Structure 1
C-alpha cells in the first residue's frame, strides 16, 4: 500500500483525491493546508484520516510515502522544498516551479537527499499519448515535420483570479501554454530557435500568446495559449508520410486519428476512466516500488528543459515574476 498525502485543498487537489481511489494500492492518509479548518473539510470530504493546519506538519508525518503538491504555481517551490527537506517523496503539479533556477534547486535537493521527485505532467503518463509516441517511433507517419497545438480558455478572469495575479505566477503560458510546449518537447525535444509574442494584460501577465519553435532537423512547432477565448484545444502531429490528430482536449484525448499516406484514417480509441490523474499516481507508485528517485516517463532533465523553454518564452514576451 502506498500512503499518500495531499498538500493544498483546492479544485485540483480534490480531483486528484477522487482519482486516487482508482489506483490499486493507493491510500489517501493525510492532507495539509495553511489552516486547520480547510484541511479538516477536505479530509472529511475525501476520507483522509488526518488533517494538518500547516505544510510542515504534513511533511513531518512519517507514515506518508509521498505527497502530492497542489498549490498555486508560485507556492510550488516552497511547498515542495518543505516535503523534500523532511525526506518525503513529492509529486508536484505543473508547472514545476515559476522558473528554471528554482526548479533546478528542487531537483538538486531531491538528488542530495535521495528522495523521489516528479512533475505532475499527466500528459506524459497518459496511455493514449504514450501509444502515439510509440507509433511515431515505429515510423507510422515518417519523420515529424510539424507539431501544432492550442489551449485557450474563455474566461473572463477577474483581476484577483490566479490566472491574472502576477504574484501567483498568473498568465496563460504557465497555466495553459505548458501543455502545447510540453507536447512539442515530447515529440521534437529542445528547439534551436524560439520566437514568441503576447498581448499582456494590465497585471503584467500574458493574455494571448503565440509561439513558433524551430529545429535544426527542419521541423517546426506552432503553438498558442490564451485566456481571452476558448480555442479548439486540439493538436496535430504531421510527418513526411502521414499525420496524427488529437481531438479536444489533446492532453487527455478520448481518441487519436492516424492518417497514413494512401490509407483510410484509423481511429485509436482511449478508455476514459476518472479524471486522468490516476495515471500519474500509478507511475509514482511504480517508481517508488522499484526504488527509483525519478520517473523515466517524466525525468528531471525533461522537466528542467521545459522550464528553461518557458523562461525563454517569458523573456521574449515580457512577463517577469521577480
Structure 2
C-alpha cells in the first residue's frame, strides 16, 4: 500500500531528472553541472545573420542539456524552469559584462551617436535616470498555436526565473513581454538558415505601450531558451531596435516642443526599412550597444571557446 507521504512526494518531486532520467529529482547534480557548471560564452552561428546582437549561452545544446530543455518545452516539466532560469541568468550576466568591457567608457551609445533623451531630458549618457534602472529581459515569443499546444510559453517562463535569480544576486532585472507576432510564420523545422531569416523577417513587433519602457531602460537583453541559426534573435532585436528608435525620436520632438503629424503607414514602413539597413546600431555587431542577447543553450560548434 502507498502511504500519504508517497502521494505528497509525487506532488513535490517529478518522477525523474529532466536531464538523465534519475528518479525523484528535478535535475541531478551531474546534469545541473552540465547546465551551469561552465562559464557562459559568446556564441555565433555560421553563417551569422546580419543584424544579430551579441549572444551569450550558458551551455552547449547536447546530451543532458538538450534533454532538459526538451522536457521543459515539450513535456511540461515546469519544475525545470528554475535551474534553466539560473543558467540563463548566468548568460545574461556574461552578456552585460561583455557590453561593459567593450563599450566606449563602459556605457551604451545612442543609435546614431547623438545624446540619448532619458525621461524627456537631454544629457550625456548616464546623466539622466531611467524608469527604475532595471535590466529588461525581453523573451522571444512563441506563437499562439505553440503556446496552446504546450500549455505554456517556455522562453517567458525561463526568463521570469532568470529575472528572479538576477535580483537575488544583486542585479535589478525584470521581464517585459514586449514582443508579439504581427503575422503568421511557417514552422521553422526543416528550414535552413537563409529560409528561417526570410520566414521571420518583419514577423515581430513591439506591443503598444512597451516602446517607451524599452527606450527608458538601461539595458535590454533579448532572451530565449535556444539559439540555432540566430534568425529568431535577429528578428527580435530588429523589432526592439525599431521601437526604441521611434520612442527616442518621439521624445526628442516632445522635448523640443515640435508636433509632427502622424505619418502614413508607408512612411512608417520606409523609416523602419532605413533603420534596419543602417550598420553600427544597437543589436547589430558593434560593442557597447544597448541590445544584447542571452540563451540557455546553443549548438556546440557555435561557442567561440571551441573554435581555433
Question: 1 or 2, which has the higher helix percentage?
Answer: 2
Question: 1 or 2, which has the higher strand percentage?
Answer: 1
TM-score (norm. length: structure 1): 0.28
Of structures 1 and 2, the one with the larger relative CO (CA 8 A, separation 6+) is 2
TM-score (norm. length: structure 2): 0.29
